[in-house]
Homo-oligomer: A and B are copies of this chain.
Amino acid sequence: MSQTAEHHIPSLTFRDTVRSSDADAVRDIVASTGFFTSAEIEVAVELVHDRLSRGERSEYFFLFADCDGRVVGYSCYGPIACTVGSFDLYWIAVHEKWRGRGIGSVLLRATEERIAAAGGRAIYVETASRAQYDPTRRYYENNRYVREATLKDFYTPGDDKVIYSKRIRGA
């Protein structure tokens, strides 16, 4: 199945640099997923502005997947303060119109390569246990992330925080 899906992957260009037009692109992509509240969408956009205004001093790094000059997906990650080689993956999303073609996994792999090149040893990602996030958890598990911890009722009674991690080979 996934072989077939990967067959349809369009030709992607990966880009580390952030442009001012990326703020709108990120808003479009995150909103298109239908997963996030407007407050959460604004947080995603705010991180782009942080990177644009603070440059290298920002702790947020981005990887954009462009196709024919359009941003179809992106990830946002960064080193975790006070750790040696642990990185958070804050956001990873593919525009709804481009989902189901394996772009998410290709983007994740490209992000892991960037993190490894930056000296990363491990990547952490947090998600929720509620049913809405079943595809998200499956996505990480399919990409060899390990469910390392669960914080019971963290978000609200009945909705746990789930922390996944993946060990990677640093540069």
Contacts and interface: CB of A to CB of B under 8 A. Distances in A.
A152 B156 contact: no
A153 interface: yes
A124 interface: yes
B156 A148 contact: no
Interface residues of A, number: 24
A84 B156 contact: yes
Contacts of A131: none
Interface string A145-171: 000111111111100000101000000
Contacts of A157: 121
A85 B157 CA distance: 9
Contacts of A1: none
A147 to B, nearest CB: 11
A115 to B, nearest CB: 15
Nearest to A43: B81
Interface of A: 40, 43, 80-86, 121-122, 124, 148-157, 163, 165
Lowest 10 A-B CB distances belong to which pairs? A149-B149, A84-B156, A83-B155, A86-B154, A148-B151, A149-B151, A83-B154, A82-B155, A40-B82, A151-B163
25 contacts: A40-B82, A43-B81, A80-B154, A82-B155, A83-B154, A83-B155, A83-B156, A84-B156, A85-B156, A86-B154, A86-B155, A121-B153, A121-B157, A122-B153, A122-B154, A124-B151, A124-B154, A148-B149, A148-B151, A148-B152, A149-B149, A149-B150, A149-B163, A151-B163, A151-B165
